[in-house]
A and B are shown apart, each in its own frame.
Chain A
């Protein structure tokens, strides 16, 4: 027995109120003159004593009322064992319908076993059916209706999500807080090891939950899969496009697999790879000859296991004409256009034509037709060009500014707006150069650049970043790469040059992915890559595209968004595998291939000892040892405030009746 909110016991001070009322008010009676007291006999005194005694009953009732109220607010509880609390229990049936359950007859076996459990349950026990994917899906409420429960199990379809046992434990913990009866959790799953959370403690279940595991497989089965496909989302030169596929084997012997590239349902190329035992092999297709527009592509291996659903990986490719990018540099600067064009041309995924102009000519250009604009180490930017660039950025365009040695001629960075605080020529210092100290890998420009290891910077401009995001620093703390959002567009500032005079970055191979990814990012192409993973979220609209309708057609040809959602939803969850067709808010048509999470392809099973640990009885011996303390372990607080409030109610009624009888009788007589 205990109190959950003992500080409410301070309410006992309210007991003083009835004592005050009863004891003090009695002494404040004003004597009243009366004609004669001949009818008030001495017996009256004894009557008053008797009445005082009865008033003491009233006082006691009132004191009890306050006492119980304070006690109820203190939220008392008693420790009761789950078994004693209620002989009934809730049988919670959770069936794993993640992607891996498509292998063999796993889902059918799980459903059959679930039906068996349902038929053997006691008629007085309620049952509830749920499905486990990346989230818990409630199929029925707690019910005694066997028909509804069996129908829910029968109608369960396999999903494409990745199972998360941690999510299961979290959902059951939440459920146990609201269900007063003990819960018997029956979990029907292939017990995939990859579904385990990183920390075993995330699987912890409340004391009133008993876990019964129903593994539908005992051992891992070999499985080959197309683990990943690296393909461009856009292609402008089919001969330069490459498709790389990684074929992985889990628990498999060494084997030769045939890999096919299928474009719009037709096999375009076939490769043979030797996959080592329990290893990976890469298949590369040298061209991606797709027609203009979107092409639904897939990489497929010949099926040789019980899990054919993961033998294919899909992606969508859009063939377009290359887009133009404007490179503005001074007339005397020939190195930076050279290196930049070379890097952009070497990139596989990018499709840009670089237009190199001087600052004077740039003012006459129509900026809106360019995917992005590069200002490379300009001595000065004409005011007309700068205002045009600002309008271009605010309207959604992107500008990439590189500040080289010419930056010393101005005090501020054009368009970006930051003040130039200093310029460092590190070649004159003892170290002669600086490296990159840190770079934010979450930014696309740095994502594939491997932290720019080994790149030497001889010259850098120190710019006050203000509210800009700093993506990379030099070792002396100078911000090297910054990004600022202006209006709907972005301005990226590289605090060094794009030639080999201020740094040796263009001479490093990492310069190519840096330029390529940055170009893709600034042009917005990056956001439309052609493959996603199930349960990822797709951004449907930007901030300026509110109230504009979008259309999503799922792999089954359905429109999952309602009319309201199509005008208001910001994101969309890709719930199933297949090709999604999108009509985005900017009017652009897009096709996305969605694949299940490949961790589902690893069919390795959780070891028995881990399963036993999860069930809560690691071994028979330890279970026996724990039996002695089981009652104590299963004890849990049972709140009794409800019963106390009933007593309060009863005391209030008794007090009202008694007070009415003692004090209100005169009024009734007068009526």
Chain B
């Protein structure tokens, strides 16, 4: 029953990403049979000397009264992480063979991650939407109103132009202050070597990097029954293809591409997950929670 709410085709009928995210996450968490405050605790951990810039709300005023020194109270749950989602909004993400396009699926995934991170894990979350330029940048934060901002950023993320992984990563590295979890959502139509080479520097900063490879089922197994002409959504190039070629050559190449991407990303210490748009969203959420738990 709850699984139904993770079905992309069901989510496509829900207006508003916040509701989508709430539906997905609540359904997912309920399905875990565990506390929704997984990973978060009010248990006291330690005191830390106040340093300028710290939030005064966390100062233990009782200790200050006794010792006249300001200390901050730290709890275990306070070892929160930073989630940054890099969302590919190139034209190729428009492709869809059913009710949910790849872009929709990417939005649902990102929104669900944001909801899970902010509402359930008290994590900071940020968003970078890019194609060949950085379209939207929302800094990771835990402040109130962050979730609506992120969801709004997702709402306005429309596919444009072509994909260029280098520029958003350069941009991201400029603002990188703390280590966290970086989720890269894209269809990764580029050579695996180039992708890994571009993304790998994030890993050097101590980030946990996860690649969510969004694909439509008809990209994996195209249905071509007769000789056809295909138009590239990004370059507008045309090419004539035959069912025979699609059946043999294309599938081999595509499978090799996915396999190479998986091997190379994992070889570089990153996680890789293939998300097909007709499958439920729980794979992505489970992956996030697994990484998040490992960081605690």
Contacts and interface: CB of A to CB of B under 8 A. Distances in A.
Interface stretch (B15-23, B73-81, B118-126, B219-227): B219-227
A662 to B, nearest CB: 7
A56 to B, nearest CB: 13
A7 interface: no
Contacts, number: 100
Nearest to B216: A35
A51 B227 CA distance: 9
Nearest to B191: A38
Given A32-B230, A37-B232, A44 B241 contact: yes
12 contacts: A30-B229, A35-B92, A39-B249, A39-B250, A39-B254, A40-B250, A43-B249, A44-B240, A44-B242, A48-B240, A48-B241, A666-B225
A430 interface: no
A663 B226 contact: yes
B189 interface: yes
A662 B102 CA distance: 31
Contacts of A43: 249
A38 B219 CA distance: 12
A665 B230 contact: no
A666 B230 contact: no
B235 A37 contact: yes
Contacts of B243: 662-663, 665-666
Contacts of B234: 36
B230 A26 contact: no
A31 B227 contact: no
Contacts of B92: 35-36
B93 to A, nearest CB: 8
Given A39-B249, A43-B249, A44-B241, 17 more contacts: A29-B226, A33-B95, A33-B231, A34-B219, A34-B233, A35-B233, A36-B232, A36-B233, A37-B239, A40-B230, A44-B239, A44-B240, A45-B239, A47-B244, A51-B242, A663-B226, A666-B225
Given A48-B240, A48-B241, A48-B242, A29 B219 contact: no
B237 interface: yes
B231 A31 contact: yes
Nearest to B215: A35
A671 to B, nearest CB: 11
B245 A44 contact: yes
Interface in A24-80: 26, 29-40, 43-45, 47-48, 51
A33 B228 CA distance: 10
A310 B246 CA distance: 96
A669 B222 CA distance: 10
Given A34-B233, A37-B230, A663 B225 contact: yes
A429 interface: no
A31 B232 CA distance: 10
B257 interface: yes
Interface string A283-311: 00000000000000000000000000000
B238 interface: yes
A667 B230 CA distance: 19
B247 interface: yes
Interface of A: 26, 29-40, 43-45, 47-48, 51, 662-663, 665-667, 669-670
Given A26-B227, A29-B229, A35-B216, A666 B247 contact: yes
Contacts of A47: 242, 244-245, 249
Interface string B235-269: 10111111111110110011001000000000000
A48 B233 CA distance: 22
Residue of B232, B235, B250 with most partner-chain A CB within 10 A: B232
Residue of A36, A37, A47, A665 with most partner-chain B CB within 10 A: A36
Contact of B240 (A34, A45, A662): A45
B187 interface: yes
A670 B221 contact: yes
Nearest to A40: B239
Contacts of A37: 230, 232, 235, 237, 239
B228 A35 contact: no
Contacts of B240: 44-45, 48
A665 B189 CA distance: 27
Residue of B189, B228, B242, B257 with most partner-chain A CB within 10 A: B242
A530 B244 CA distance: 92
A32 B190 CA distance: 21
A32 B228 contact: yes
B227 A39 contact: no
A13 B92 CA distance: 48
B100 to A, nearest CB: 14
Nearest to B236: A33
A114 B175 CA distance: 119
B224 to A, nearest CB: 6
Contact of A669 (B232, B247, B249): B247
B277 to A, nearest CB: 12
A38 B250 CA distance: 10
Return the 4 tightest CB-CB contacts between A and B, nearest first.
A36-B189, A35-B95, A35-B92, A39-B253
Contact of A35 (B219, B224, B245, B249): B219
A51 B92 CA distance: 28
B192 to A, nearest CB: 12
A669 B221 CA distance: 9
A48 B229 CA distance: 11
A300 B78 CA distance: 147
A662 B226 CA distance: 9
Contacts of A666: 223-225, 243, 246-247
Nearest to B187: A35
A44 B232 CA distance: 15
Contacts of B232: 34-37
Contact of A34 (B230, B247, B249, B253): B230
B229 A32 contact: yes
A670 B225 CA distance: 11
A662 B257 CA distance: 26
A47 to B, nearest CB: 5
Contacts of A26: 227
A34 B234 CA distance: 9
A44 B253 CA distance: 13
Residue of A32, A34, A47, A667 with most partner-chain B CB within 10 A: A34
Nearest to A42: B239
Given A45-B240, A666-B247, A38 B189 contact: yes
B25 to A, nearest CB: 28
Nearest to A39: B253
A636 B257 CA distance: 70
Nearest to A45: B240
Contacts of A44: 239-242, 245, 249
Interface string B167-190: 000000000000000000001011
Contacts of A35: 92, 95, 102, 187, 189, 216, 219, 232-233
A226 B253 CA distance: 108
Given A35-B187, A36-B189, A40-B250, A667 B227 contact: no
B85 to A, nearest CB: 21
Contacts of B222: 34
Nearest to A31: B229
Contacts of A39: 249-250, 253-254, 257
A22 to B, nearest CB: 11
Contacts of B229: 29-32
A535 to B, nearest CB: 74
A649 to B, nearest CB: 27
Nearest to B245: A47
A266 to B, nearest CB: 102
A37 B233 CA distance: 9
Nearest to B253: A39
A29 B238 CA distance: 13
Contact of B247 (A29, A40, A48, A665): A665
Nearest to B162: A36
A560 B253 CA distance: 90
Given A35-B189, A37-B237, A39-B257, A51 B250 contact: no
A662 B239 CA distance: 19
